[in-house]
Structure 1
Amino acid sequence: RTLTDRFLQPLPTPGTPETELYYERRLNEQSQLIDPPAIVPSDARLDFKKWGSWLQRGAIVRDTNTNSDVETMAEAIERWKTEYLPARRKYIYNTQIVGKGGEIPLPQTGGGPTTSYFPLVANRATSKVLVPTNGELGATWTGSPSFEPFDTTGWLSGPTGVGYDRATTYDSLIGVDVARQMRSNTSVYIRIDFDVSDPALVDLLELQIKYDDGFVAFLNGEKLVSANSPTSPGWNSSARLAHAANPRSYIKFDVSDKKGNLRTGRNVLAIQGLNDTLKSSDMLIVPELYAGKVSVPTTLEPRINFGAIEANPASGNQDEEFIQLINPNSIAVDISNWRLTGGIEHVFAAGTVLAPNAALYVSPNVAAFRARTSTPKGGEGLFVQGGYRGHLSNLGEMLAILDATGATNNTTTTSGQASDAQRSLVVSELMYHPSGDNLAEYIELLNISSSDTLNLEGVRFTQGVEFNFTGSAIVSLAPGERVLIARDLAAFETAYGVNHPVAGVFANGTALSNGGERLKLEDANNGTILEFAYDDQPPWPVAADQSGYSLVLIAPHTHPDQALSENWRASLQSGGSPGGADGALFPADPLGDANGNGEPDLVDYALGNDLGLSPIFPGFRWNRDVPAGEDALLLTVPISLAAEGVEIELHFSTNLIEWQAGTSHLELVSTEALGDGRAMRSWRIKPPLRDQPHLYMRLRVLGR
Structure 2
Amino acid sequence: LDSVEFGMQINDYSIGRVGYDRQWKLNQPTFGYSNVAQPLGDTATLKINEWLANEDILFGDDFIELFNPYAFPVDLSGLYLTDNPVTEADKQEIPPLSFISGDGFAVFRADDQNRPGHVDFRLSAGQEHIGLFDAELKVIDQVLYTPQTTDISQGCVPDGSVNFEFFELPTPGLTNTMATTPPTTVTLVPLEVTAYYYYVPTDSTSESTWMQPDFNDLAGWQTGWTSLGFGFGGTSRVAYNDCVYREDHPYIGSNVTTYGIGSGYSGATSGPLLDQATGDDTGITATLTQSGGVTWQPSPASGGHDCAVGTDAYNTFGGIADMTGVIYYGSAGWWVDLVFTGLEPTTEYTFATSAARCDYTDRLTIYTLNGADTYTNASTSGVDVLAENMVRFNTGDNYNEGYVARWTGITAADGSFTVRAKADPSSTDGRKAYSFDVFKLEGGFSGSDVQGDMLGINASLWSRIEFEVEDPCVFDTLTLRMQYEDGFVAYLNGVEVASDNFTGTPVWNSTADSNRPNELATGFVEFDISDHISDLQPGTNVLAVHGLNDDKDDGYFLMLPELIASSDPSLDPYTVALRLLDGLRITEIMYNTPATTSEYDYIELQNVSDVNLDLTGVRFTDGIEFTFPPMELGPGEYVIVDSNSAMFEIAFGTGINVAGEYSLELSNAGENIILKLALPLDAAILRFGYDDGWYPLTDGQGWSLVIRDPTAKPASWDKAESWDAALPSPGAPNP
Give the TM-score band, short-chain normalised.
under 0.3
TM superposition score normalised by structure 2: 0.25
Q: Greater RCO between the two (CA within 8 Å, min separation 6)?
A: 2
Which structure is higher in strand share? 2
Which structure is higher in helix share? 1
